[in-house]
Structure 1
């Protein structure tokens, strides 16, 4: 069918069909704000034909209608277009609409009526709400992260022997937190898997496949706060082990085991145990100081357990070092069981 053969009534029908597909509604009113024509109105609105001669108070409740009528009277008086977001609350349903109110003028420029284009913006308002929530969450997490970094800087400075020592340790610790944060961000702030978090902390220090390190047991999803703090603990354990323990001069092996179980109150909790078995017993002075002094001791003995509301056990003997956290269910989400090197 050629375009020239399309009747004017068919053209109007085609236009309305296109507007309907796009979710666009239309309304025309005279200067008394009586509705003279309506098309494609949303399904839960009054019928187009029922609105002829009516006003906006037939569509909106009293408060909303007053807002719409005020805007339309302003367009009649000024001849300028107005855009208005309006929440229609009717029949136990709430929907947001964008109203484009345009003047209809005669040849002399006098306003003789109003065109109102109505667009459903529920999706837009939903995205705005989600974005605002995410920004608030991001602000909250950023403040927490900055507070942690400030604490790390302060504690590192107290235990450093000089500027170079401070810079080396502080940079490594900030990098450790960045690696944990990358995993949390990649999961849309859900958290990080324990195994992935552990490997992200060990790989920069001991390589991708450390022959003397094994992780076994459950692989839970740690919530963001737990992932960040536990990542810092794993970093300190690895650094200390390389300096004095089984991954370093003492030789031997390290096993990290994660196991979920029920406590005495029949509530699930996660026991995470880092065990170093030494091939050669460290010197007596190293046994006494291993993992327990300076910033490392503060992280392992106080900062991480408090942040996770976890119980802690930290023991060192001639042939073994055990660091254990008992983490409440509020800090993680259970995942399937694995065994990985």
Structure 2
């Protein structure tokens, strides 16, 4: 048992005015407080949440009449136990509407009335909802981080496998990491919803010189794709751009590359998204196997498998054409 006092007060402070200000502060705080004597008779109730029944003027309030049968019975049992042990008790209660309340029940001492029961009730609903949302987000971040790390590990090992020397490995791996980072930026800015194709393409183009960006043209439907598709389609676009810059002649010819997106309903209930890359070329020779290697692996195997789609990578005398079709929600 203990007495409560202010942290500091002037000796000449008017007690009635002090009580008025403290009462005002209590009302503004939204915290519910109740005081009962040793017979469980209520002396006052402040800030009672609307979920419970406010006491009428005729009958004296009781735990059962205010809080209902289940919670009222629990509170009465807790208060009896406190009188026996002298130890404060606290618990949380979730009502039928899903609101969460924290109860703190303890003994206080009054010179005139002796031992009394002081109860404070805090509405923790918003706090618990924020905690739940945060836990969900942390799990999602953990899941996506593991997926991203697996992608990075795969890219690193495959890049090392096909790189002829350390310098080439560093250059290629840095570009692919940058592609993943740019895709993640798109995902973050949409609150993990994914990214639009046009925005994804523009972000990937930021890695390359301005003259390259001016020659790449987006056409068709600017579809919002999932986070998984954003990462992998972004990686495919990076590979196509890298190959075009390193081995193509579209810049020298001032010829435009067209990236087309088309959404169509096929047999399944989920629409199919087809993304097509058409890169003009005047050279007659095909890229060597050394040029294709891992870039081709990404475009023809890694990305299609990741988005449950199919891809076609073809070379002709006048253009390089890459097409990938996948479920729009992949």
| Bigger strand share | 1
CA positional deviation for 1:295: 1.7
Deviates more, 1:146-155 or 1:184-193: 184-193
Output the CA distance in 1 between the equivalents of 2:258 and 2:204: 15
Aligned equivalent of 2:145, options 138, 142, 145: 142
Paired position in structure 1 for 2:295: 296
What is the RMSD of the two structures over their aligned residues, measured on CA atoms? 3.3
Q: Say which SS state the counterpart of residue 188 (structure 1) adopts.
A: coil
Output the CA distance in 2 between the equivalents of 1:106 and 1:176: 70
Paired position in structure 1 for 2:5: none
Output the CA distance in 2 between the equivalents of 1:208 and 1:65: 75
CA positional deviation for 1:298: 1.4
Contact 1:24 1:118 (C-alpha < 8 Å) held by counterparts: yes
Normalised by the size of structure 2, how large is the TM-score?
A: 0.83
Is 1:196 equivalent to 2:183 in the alignment?
Answer: no
Aligned equivalent of 1:127, options 130, 135, 141: 130
Output the CA distance in 2 between the equivalents of 1:36 and 1:168: 77
Paired position in structure 2 for 1:85: 92
CA positional deviation for 1:31: 3.8
Residues 164-313 of structure 1: pairs in structure 2 closer than 5 A: 164-207=167-210, 210-247=213-250, 252-265=255-268, 267-278=270-281, 280-284=282-286, 286=287, 289=289, 293-313=292-312
Paired position in structure 2 for 1:95: 99
Output the CA distance in 2 between the equivalents of 1:302 and 1:100: 61
Describe the superposition over 1:71-124 as per-residue Cα deviations: whole angstroms up to 9, x where unpaired.
5456545655554332233xxx2210122334211459x971111121211111
Describe the superposition over 1:109-161 as per-residue Cα deviations: whole angstroms up to 9, x where unpaired.
x9711111212111111111111110110110011011111111111111111
Deviates more, 1:233-242 or 1:50-59: 50-59
Output the CA distance in 1 between the equivalents of 2:210 and 2:245: 12
Output the CA distance in 1 between the equivalents of 2:23 and 2:211: 62
How many aligned residue pairs are there? 317
Normalised by the size of structure 1, how large is the TM-score?
A: 0.80
